[in-house]
């Protein structure tokens, strides 16, 4: 629909030199350049302009993704205000985001957590919404509603194990482990995009 705002998706990790740039690159490759999406990444403790880790650049190239020119971006509170969905790589980043921008709490998940709740969230008929982005935002709201209900019933973690919420960097484990990380992130990003109603 002409004039419709794009769906804004932000990926966050710690340094914005490994996990979140990979996730951003996978997401961009999925949604293309049709203008319906704004996809970005940042790091809670990033140093402006830092290059992606060589292991990540190599792992990305195996999936035809180019991270050779990536420059890290430090996360600031204003970066958390506009996104319709914020997907962090680990719980510590979600906690940080909530601390600097509390109003983001209903739009911010770890990526594993979002996939878990969004798979259980019912999808409303598209005809009930004025445009596709409103339909996509509703899916995020429904995932959060399930999380909120689970926390009320089962405590803070909503019945999940906190150690299962994180995407961990395979520090010191070689190129194969980094490629496995990239493969896992590709699957999580693909699920996330599809679950909100994307390509």
pLDDT (average), residues 99-113: 97
| 118 falls within a domain | no
- pTM for the predicted model, two decimal places: 0.96
Q: Within a domain: residue 129?
A: no
**Backbone dihedral angles phi then psi of residue 13, each to the nearest 5 degrees:** -135, -155
Secondary structure letter of residue 11 according to DSSP: E
Q: Tell me whether residue 40 is in a domain.
A: yes
Q: What is the mean pLDDT of residues 29-54?
A: 94
Q: What is the pLDDT of residues 64-88, one digit of tens each?
A: 999 999 999 999 999 999 999 999 9
Work out how many domains the chain is built from and give that number: 1
| Angle of the 111-120 helix axis to the 175-195 helix axis, nearest 10 | 40
Confidence of residue 3 (pLDDT cuts 50, 70, 90): low
Residue 190 CB neighbour total at 10 angstroms = 17
Kindly state whether residue 75 falls inside one of the protein's structural domains: yes
Percent of the chain residues topping a pLDDT of 90: 88
Which residue would you say has higher pLDDT here, 8 or 3?
A: 8
Average pLDDT over residues 18-39: 93
12 DSSP β-pair partners: 42, 88
Q: What is the CATH number of the domain that holds 82?
A: 3.40.50.2300
Mean of the pLDDT values across residues 6-16? 97
The DSSP element (H or E) to which 40 belongs, if any, is: strand 37-43
């Amino acid at each position: 629909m002409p004039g419709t705002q794009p769906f804004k998706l932000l990926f966050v990790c710690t340094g914005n030199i490994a996990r979140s740039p990979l996730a951003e690159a996978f997401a961009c490759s999925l949604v293309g350049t049709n203008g319906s999406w704004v996809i970005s990444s940042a790091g809670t403790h990033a140093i402006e302009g830092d290059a992606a880790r060589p292991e990540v650049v190599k792992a990305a190239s195996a999936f035809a993704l180019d991270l050779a020119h990536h420059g890290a971006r430090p996360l600031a509170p204003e970066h958390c205000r506009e996104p319709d969905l914020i997907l962090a790589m680990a719980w510590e980043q979600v906690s940080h985001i909530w601390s600097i921008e509390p109003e983001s709490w209903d739009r911010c998940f770890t990526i594993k957590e979002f996939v878990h709740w969004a798979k259980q969230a019912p999808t409303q008929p598209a005809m009930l919404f004025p445009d596709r982005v409103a339909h996509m935002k509703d899916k995020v709201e429904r995932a959060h509603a399930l999380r909120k209900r689970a926390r009320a019933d089962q405590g803070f973690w909503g019945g999940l194990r906190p150690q299962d919420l994180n995407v961990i960097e395979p520090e010191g484990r070689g190129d194969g482990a980094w490629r496995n990380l990239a493969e896992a992130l590709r699957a999580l990003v693909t699920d996330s995009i599809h679950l909100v109603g994307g390509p």
